[in-house]
Chains A and B, each alone.
Chain A
Amino acid sequence: MTITRTLRRSALAAVAVTAAVVMTACSSAGGGVSAGTGTGTINVWAHQGQDSENAALQAAVDGFNKSQGKVTAKLRLISGDTYTTTITSTPKNQLPDVLEIDGPTLASFVYNDKLAPLSDYVAKGTISNATPGSVAEGTSGGKLYGLAMYDSAMGLYGNKKLLDAAGVTHPTSFDSAWTPDQFAAALKALSAADPSGKALDLNESGLSGEWGTYGFAPLVQSAGGNLIKNGKSVGMLDSSASVKALADFATWKPYTDPNADGNAFVDGRVGVAWGGHWNYPVFSKALGSDLVVMPLPNMGQGAKAGAGSWTWGVGSGTKNGKAAGLFVDYLLNDKNVTAMTQANGAPPATKSAFTADTLYQTGGALALWGEQLAHACAADAITKDCLAVYRPVTAGYPTITSKFAGSLSAVWGGADPKKSLTSAANAIDQNFADNNGFK
């Protein structure tokens, strides 16, 4: 009697739950974008960056609200490290009208129907003023979903005083980039000359996150390997070139400062730092004319660097597409783009602002990295002359980055590169297969 009643109750519950489960797992279809009246309040979400960036963004929002009376934009900042997971876990009908997207994750949000195509709402002039990199980063399945205010530039920073003191010649152009052996030798010399015994800071606490993929996939690509090609990772990520790149990477650990307090480079404890444009304001203030910028090591096929950054899109649940488009147009004008890039030192992602930016043009402090962006390419079209490589545009990117960064971190901790990368490649391919190649 007890058993049948319990069984019956469980069966009923199971049916009810299955229904609920299947319903919640599939987000409600329909209720898509509508252009709206072009008036009213729109919500804007962005990631919380450095204080100066936040201020510039808020100024842009305030400027937009003041410049016209029909649309009011409300800005909400979300912490950067949880930003992507926030968007991933927000159901699409709760998404804002305008939102920032971390460039490489765009394709996966398009796949999950969270973004609306921009061309319907953003002015043609805005689109044509976007740099090729911005357009490439924001395009998925042939449609444009995102445009960026700024791109990114990264490489090696050097402390000229320490380098000279150790007798190390540092590269000043891409042709003279360090080979792995030269790099190791430089690190060794720097460590010997430095009382701290360390020479390099590469922000190792961030290796298992997006920084790992952004900052170090270029090493793999520079060696001739890649993360993925034609939807397959096995054969590329675990190729001998990729494995060698990570093996070399691991040999730099003895010279690397764990940098628990974040000030290793600024305090002069290390002579070389793996960083990007976001470090420039602080580093240049601390080191002044002793600061030099260099390309990443050339692992065999020419030095490569990471590229791509945050981009702006329109939420797929918006009821006010026209107003959203107006905001994006305003955000990407020269005044706001320049203000933002002054605040964070990033290379602008609009043609007009980029050519006017002295920092990245010839003679500027970051001209070397500006050159990278002028020779940028997509991850699946790497050529010999290509310097900056954008991360792969695919809906499967979240798995790619998590597996690669996990591998990177494991190798840094002593794991065997071949085993680690093979396992990562297999996991990526399996994820693709499970999702039918994300078609």
Chain B
Amino acid sequence: MSTTTLRRTVSTIRDYILMVVAALIMFAPIYYLLVGSLKPSAHVLDGFAGFLPTNLSFDNYVGVFHSLSSDATGYFWRFLFNSFAISAVVVIAGLVVNSMAGYAFARLEWVGRDKVFLLIVLLVIVPFESVAIPLMSLMQGQRDTLLVQMIPFIANAFSVFLFYTFFLNLPKSIEEAARIDGLGSWGTYVRIVVPNAKPVFATVAILTFLSSWGQYLWPSLVTSDPSARPLPLEMSVFSAQVPPDWGQVFAFGTLLVLPVLIVFLIFQRYFVQSVAGSAVKG
């Protein structure tokens, strides 16, 4: 074997070792969660034994549903539904609202467009956390509803910006053909532009979904009743009970992350492209 081939083999082996070690470290806590959810609670907080897949059963999952079985504790299906409904509305309505605005800024000429666009760009910098508390005090009358957790997040300055950049770069020929055919802006938008904009729609959908599913600050400020509470907030409530039942807590956590995990595994390529794409545009 020549020295270069030898060197290359060594570095390949080294790379694989590094990747395996990194993968193990990244996966270890996830594995702990999955295995812990299937073990008796006493064996979860048990040092290294916590990793051993012994005494596996679905008892904890059953236990979760038993623990969450009254109006005061809330019901698991309710939490799941809340998270799902909120995310669905925010994502879908957001796609509609923000893409239309992005198109209007990119492609249409109208009175006041530039100034309003400037406002949007400025708002991109305002982090949600800065307005969360005053917004809560303004919306005191709508506490404990699903709407209060949906409506404030539909319009999103960054999403508008992503759509705007994308539409700006669309070849004009498509739209000109549509104009010649007599379609107005709406028609052009719906029938011509949107079908050609799948990448940006996927990007915005995934980014919005990830952020919406994991929302914690806002629900913790505006809900106290379990009937309106989403999953991540319930996670912290469920894990803070005294005495804690770690097996059940981990089972709950697994149920919490499973939908997102499955979506991620299926649409992995789009996830990765979305995250990368948002940075490139930024």
Q: Is the CB of A89 within 8 A of B140?
A: yes
A15 contacts partner chain B, Cβ-Cβ < 8 Å: no
Q: Is the CB of A5 within 8 A of B243?
A: no
Most chain B CB inside 10 Å of its own CB: which residue of A6, A20, A79, A205 = A79
A213 to chain B, nearest CB (A): 16
CB-nearest residue of chain A relative to B221? A89
Give the distance in Å from the alpha carbon of A2 to the alpha carbon of B119 in the complex: 11
B143 contacts partner chain A, Cβ-Cβ < 8 Å: yes
With A6-B115, A78-B224: A263-B71 Cβ-Cβ less than 8 Å: no
Residues of A near B73 (CB, < 8 A) are 48, 79
B190 contacts partner chain A, Cβ-Cβ < 8 Å: no
Q: Is the CB of A21 within 8 A of B115?
A: no
A427 to chain B, nearest CB (A): 20
Per the 8 Å Cβ criterion, residues 13-41 of B in contact with A are 41
B70 contacts partner chain A, Cβ-Cβ < 8 Å: yes
Residues of A near B141 (CB, < 8 A) are 91
Interface residue tally on A, bucketed by range: 20 to 34
A29 contacts partner chain B, Cβ-Cβ < 8 Å: no
B6 contacts partner chain A, Cβ-Cβ < 8 Å: no
Residues of B near A263 (CB, < 8 A) are 243
Segment of A80-88, A369-377, A379-387 in the binding face: A80-88
With A6-B119, A77-B70, A81-B240: A20-B138 Cβ-Cβ less than 8 Å: yes
CB-nearest residue of chain A relative to B224? A86
A8 to chain B, nearest CB (A): 11
CB-nearest residue of chain A relative to B46? A261
With A54-B72, A78-B224: A24-B138 Cβ-Cβ less than 8 Å: yes
Residues of A near B237 (CB, < 8 A) are 79, 81-82
Per the 8 Å Cβ criterion, residues 34-70 of B in contact with A are 41-42, 45, 70
Q: Is the CB of A262 within 8 A of B242?
A: yes
Residues of B near A260 (CB, < 8 A) are 45, 244, 246
Give the distance in Å from the alpha carbon of A417 to the alpha carbon of B240 in the complex: 27
Q: Is the CB of B225 within 8 A of A78?
A: yes
Give the distance in Å from the alpha carbon of A263 to the alpha carbon of B244 in the complex: 10
With A85-B224, A91-B141: A203-B115 Cβ-Cβ less than 8 Å: no
A90 contacts partner chain B, Cβ-Cβ < 8 Å: yes
Partner of B72, one of A6, A78, A205: A78
B134 to chain A, nearest CB (A): 8
Q: Is the CB of B72 within 8 A of A262?
A: no
CB-nearest residue of chain A relative to B226? A79
Q: Is the CB of A82 within 8 A of B224?
A: yes
Q: Is the CB of B244 within 8 A of A77?
A: no
Most chain B CB inside 10 Å of its own CB: which residue of A2, A20, A24 = A24
A141 contacts partner chain B, Cβ-Cβ < 8 Å: no
A76 contacts partner chain B, Cβ-Cβ < 8 Å: yes
With A2-B115, A5-B115, A24-B137: A89-B244 Cβ-Cβ less than 8 Å: no
B118 contacts partner chain A, Cβ-Cβ < 8 Å: yes
Give the distance in Å from the alpha carbon of A206 to the alpha carbon of B224 in the complex: 20
A132 to chain B, nearest CB (A): 31
Q: Is the CB of A89 within 8 A of B224?
A: yes
Give the distance in Å from the alpha carbon of A29 to the alpha carbon of B263 in the complex: 50
Per the 8 Å Cβ criterion, residues 68-96 of B in contact with A are 70-73
Residues of A near B72 (CB, < 8 A) are 48, 54, 76-79
With A89-B143, A90-B143: A77-B71 Cβ-Cβ less than 8 Å: yes
Contact with A along B231-252 (1 / 0, CB 8 A): 0000001001011101000000
Q: Is the CB of B242 within 8 A of A206?
A: yes
11 other A-B residue contacts (CB within 8 Å) besides A54-B72, A77-B70: A2-B115, A21-B137, A25-B137, A48-B70, A48-B72, A81-B240, A89-B143, A89-B224, A262-B242, A262-B244, A263-B243
7 A-B pairs with CB atoms under 8 Å apart are A54-B70, A78-B72, A79-B72, A79-B73, A81-B240, A82-B237, A205-B242
Q: Which residues does A use to contact B, with CB under 8 Å?
A: 2, 5-6, 20-21, 24-25, 48, 54, 76-79, 81-82, 85-86, 89-91, 203, 205-206, 259-263
Lowest 9 A-B CB distances belong to which pairs? Answer: A262-B243, A77-B72, A48-B72, A86-B224, A82-B224, A260-B45, A2-B115, A24-B138, A79-B72
